[in-house]
Amino acid sequence: MALFRTRSAAVFGIEAHLIDVEVDMYPGGNARDFITVGMPDTAVRESRERIKSALLNSGFGYPNKSVTINLAPANVRKEGAGFDLPMALGILGAMGTVGRTDEHMLVGELSLDGTLRPVRGVLSIAVCARRQGIPNLLVPADNAAEAAVTEGVRVFGMRHLSEVVAYLNQPDRFQPTSSSPPSFASPEECLPDFREVRGQTTAKRALEVAAAGGHNVLMIGPPGSGKTMLAKRFAGILPPLTFQESIETTQIHSVAGLLPRGVGLLARRPFRAPHHTVSDAGLIGGGSGTPRPGEVSLAHNGVLFLDELPEFPRNVLEMLRQPIEESSVTLARTNMTLSFPADFILIAAMNPCPCGYFSDTTRECRCTGAIIQRYLSKVSGPLLDRIDLHVEVPAVAYKELRGKDHGTTSAEMRARVQAARAIQQRRGFYNARIPSRLLRNFCALDEAGERTLEMAVRRMGLSARAHDRILKAARTIADLDNSESVTAKHLAEAVQYRSLDRSYWS
């Protein structure tokens, strides 16, 4: 009887956990006796066929013995084909082909010819190896750049099972994958410019305020007024990703299987624009078995753009309320409960009515009042309260469309945004995330400001949440103005961005 152990990891959420792969091989059976225990899913149970073919086609042969593989701890469900490599190495170790692998973590899917295929969540697995004090990580070559950004772990990218065996027998012949510093792309080089959008001065200003403070925005206007153009240019005025933000964003995309092959770290802020037919699991996350990240998590540290907002199912939109408030989403399933980060800026766009021309002065709206209210009611009051800035985007006048004044550029807007965010960083919070207990300290008002805010709350019937969001937006406007205090002028502009929901929904 031969017993051999290897180490791997399983990813739950964006965290990976150590898995011990125990291989026991004993006589008395035949090559068809291959049992995997430890709560394996279908992909793990099917690995026996891939492993047998890979071993035979790589020239290692397969023993005429019974094999039992235990994935410990046994009370955690194991998913995916990433356990192929450690299971195959465990069999080879039991055969005496390779020596001990105590200082190595292994992960990779095997093809029938022994080639290693990339797997999901390798960056999280590399972080797990460092946390567990395992110095070496063997991964498929296409995952090597992703894992190599983790300091304290030597990552070896392998292309074939025979290459892994050669490394384990003669490790001095191989060099770890070098970790090149991330090259964060300059936004002006790869994103469209706000200079291309004619007119819409108010909307551009609102988006600049949103970028500076991390505020959510709702744009309302007729078709063709430029709402989508504005939204697509929004990511270009956000500050570049920090290294830590890049790590978090890359982990989520890696777990979701959306990280391009050979990419180490994502260098651009994500811009997610799901179609209005998206399901609740697609938007928020979920699925059967182990929950997967949804669009709100894929937009972490970036932008979530919801075009034609009322066309989304209302129950799906209502699920946005928790992620907007808490910057995370918690998914409870039978097997486990997982949390995914979801700190994004929401940019929503919608028409004022089904035909789109309710607010257009040049075209006649053919919708009745009842139809308009039914359309608008798909977006609930509690969701509107969580959107800081409401902006009307009217049709562009001919003179603005044909004029020579291109207006401000994304680079100019981004410089102002970065200056405002630098002020907020010294406070320790971006304005949209100021805790309620500190709101009065950071957003103190003089007598004129108190009168302005009191009048707005009374006349517009604002909720307590809307009151707080007006103060946070006013603080951002003051930061853009490089003002220490929030004045009545800043407050008046913030109140202006809360008036459209009362115009349309009241």
Q: Are strands 328-332 and 34-37 parallel, antiparallel or unpaired?
A: unpaired
Residue 185: pLDDT band with limits 50, 70, 90: low
Q: What is the mean pLDDT of the segment spanning 75-87?
A: 91
The rounded distance, in Å, linking the Cα atoms of 41 and 50 is 15
Q: Which CATH class is domain 2-173?
A: alpha beta
Work out the widest C-alpha separation in the chain, in whole angstroms: 90
The rounded distance, in Å, linking the Cα atoms of 198 and 175 is 54
Quick check: 489 pLDDT over 80?
A: yes
Provide the whole-model pTM: 0.89
- What pLDDT is recorded for position 127? 95
The rounded distance, in Å, linking the Cα atoms of 448 and 193 is 38
Domain boundary assignment for the chain: 2-173, 187-427
**Of 240, 228, 3, nearest to 100 (Cα)?**
3
Residue 461: pLDDT band with limits 50, 70, 90: confident
DSSP per residue over 227-247, as a string? HHHHHHTGGGGSPPPPHHHHH
Query: Can you say how many angstroms the Cα of residue 295 is from the centroid of all Cα atoms in its chain?
Result: 7
Q: Which long-range contacts (CB under 8 A, 24 or more apart) does 273-278 make?
A: 273/231, 273/304, 273/305, 273/306, 273/307, 274/306, 276/306, 276/307, 276/308, 276/311, 276/312, 278/312, 278/316
- What pLDDT is recorded for position 505? 63
Q: Which residues pair with 486 in a beta bridge?
A: 445
- What pLDDT is recorded for position 108? 96
The rounded distance, in Å, linking the Cα atoms of 79 and 39 is 9
Quick check: 1 pLDDT over 50?
A: no
Quick check: 221 pLDDT over 70?
A: yes
Judge whether 2-173 and 187-427 match in fold.
no
Taking only the tens place, the pLDDT of each residue in 11-27 is: 988 899 999 999 998 88
The rounded distance, in Å, linking the Cα atoms of 8 and 431 is 42
The rounded distance, in Å, linking the Cα atoms of 450 and 445 is 6
What kind and span of H or E run contains 466?
helix 464-480
Residue 205, token pair as written in the block: 């200003």
- Please list, in sequence order, all residues whose beta carbon lies within 8 angstroms of the beta carbon of residue 84, skipping any fewer than 6 positions away: 47, 50, 51, 54, 108, 109, 110
- What pLDDT is recorded for position 180? 65
CATH architecture of 187-427: 3-Layer(aba) Sandwich (3.40)
Residue 333: how many CB atoms within 10 A of its CB? 13
Task: Work out the mean pLDDT of the chain and round it to a whole number.
Answer: 89
Query: Can you say how many angstroms the Cα of residue 452 is from the centroid of all Cα atoms in its chain?
Result: 38
The rounded distance, in Å, linking the Cα atoms of 161 and 248 is 31
Greater pLDDT, 499 or 443: 443
Q: Residue type at 370? A: A
Residues of the chain with pLDDT > 70, as a percent, come to: 94
Quick check: 385 pLDDT over 90?
A: no
- What pLDDT is recorded for position 237? 94
DSSP per residue over 152-200, as a string? T-EEEEESBHHHHHHHHH-GGG--PPP-PPP-PPPHHHHS--GGGS-S-
Residue 182: pLDDT band with limits 50, 70, 90: low
